[in-house]
Amino acid sequence: MKIAFFDTKQYDIEPFRACGEKSGVEYKFFEPKLTADTAGLAAGYDGVCVFVNDTVDAEVVDRLYGEGVRLVALRCAGYNNVDVKYAFGKLHVVHVPAYSPYAVAEHAMALLLTSIRRIHKAYNRTRDFNFSLSGMTGFDLHGKTVGVVGTGRIGRVFIDICRGFGMNVIAYDKFQAEGSGIDYVTLPELYSRSDIISFHCPLTDETHHMLNADTIKLLKRGSVIINTSRGALIDAEALLAGIKSRIVGAACLDVYEEESDIFFEDFSGHIMDDDTLARLISMPNVIVTSHQAFLTEEALHNIAETTTSNIITFAEKGTCDNELCYHCGNTETCKKQRLERCF
């Protein structure tokens, strides 16, 4: 299998090259993101390997199909950037449903601790030999109520971490984990009761802007918001307004809804065109990291290994347990139980 690898970063190359050489998959690394303009780079390849900010819409699907591509291998769990419905009958789509839930959950907690204990401010102060404690008062996590939106693998690991801190955990998920012992509540109740809210759910039409101008009014005053999932779960303009009105006490963001042309790139020598992001970053109670929650050695190895395994399995069997198929109406579950090709 020859795979055109888009949106390549330096940290991608070593693990994917090693897995490819071991299994016989030939990766060709391209720096540009996959778009309608760059899809031609995939000519002559069996498949493409893409990440969260690559575009696989109807136009790109048609262009890839016309170039002979038959497989889209996502090296991530989320697939909101892929038109899976339109791809059906043309391109098979596989993803990495779990690579390291610990990496993302631990990053969410790291952001929370950094924010509420003012670690980032302390670091900057002591670098200037300023050892004043003025304005550095935080609060205990013990006894606080955390609301977890989404109780998949990452959400459940985050819940375990929070329980270790002695926090009270409530959660919302449309599909509840039976027998988990998780205290599920409605989303409005979660918003109104939580001191801290952490998002760990996929981006769908239903979850788009689930935190918005109306739902922010339900929050406890001073609530801390954490998002390490998908940026568009939160209406960034509404979040900014919530911060300015003091309803939102702090925000910890590893994702942003308009990140695709910003994150993973160095703009330190440029003027930031995105006024909303610039204003968020300027707020003293906002921490932004650039979609790095997944970025651990273990996760990178697991992503490369699973992605390569998906490609090999598809090549040998024509099916893959990690395929995203629209045929049965439910993208991640297949009535054919992966025993035969959907098309």
pLDDT at 121 over 90: yes
pLDDT at 9 over 80: yes
230 is catalytic: yes
CATH (one of 3.40.50.720, 3.40.1260.10, 3.30.70.1880, 3.40.228.10) for 101-288: 3.40.50.720
As a whole number of angstroms, the distance between CA 120 and CA 134 comes to 14
Q: Would you state the structure tokens that stand for residue 317, as one six-digit string?
A: 């069997």
Cα 322 to Cα 106, 257, 304, 308: the distances in Å are 25, 26, 14, 12
The answer to whether 2-99+297-324 and 101-288 have equal CATH topology is yes
The pLDDT score that the predictor gives to residue 98 is: 86
* Catalytic entry in 106, 153, 291, 305: 291
Nearest CA to 320 out of 329, 328, 309, 331 is that of 309
Annotated domain spans of the chain = 2-99+297-324, 101-288
As a whole number of angstroms, the distance between CA 80 and CA 53 comes to 10
The pLDDT score that the predictor gives to residue 64 is: 98
Round to the nearest angstrom and report the end-to-end CA distance of the chain. 19
* Catalytic entry in 257, 259, 305, 323: 259
* Catalytic entry in 75, 230, 257, 305: 230
The residue type of 230 is: R
Cβ contacts of residue 203 below 8 Å, gap of 6+? 78, 80, 229, 230, 232, 233
The pLDDT score that the predictor gives to residue 337 is: 62
pTM listed for this prediction = 0.90
Residue whose entry in the numeric block shows the structure tokens 């919302």: 172
pLDDT tens per residue, range 263-300: 998 999 889 999 999 999 999 999 999 999 999 999 99
pLDDT tens per residue, range 137-163: 999 999 999 999 999 999 999 999 999
Q: Is 66 helix (H, G, I), strand (E, B) or coil?
A: helix
The residue type of 85 is: K
107 is catalytic: no
Per-chain mean pLDDT for the chain: 94
Look up the CATH number of domain 2-99+297-324. Answer: 3.40.50.720
- Strand intervals (E) in the chain: 2-5, 26-29, 47-50, 71-74, 92-94, 145-149, 168-172, 196-199, 223-227, 248-253, 286-288, 323-324
pLDDT tens per residue, range 63-86: 999 999 999 999 998 899 999 999
pLDDT tens per residue, range 242-255: 999 999 999 999 99
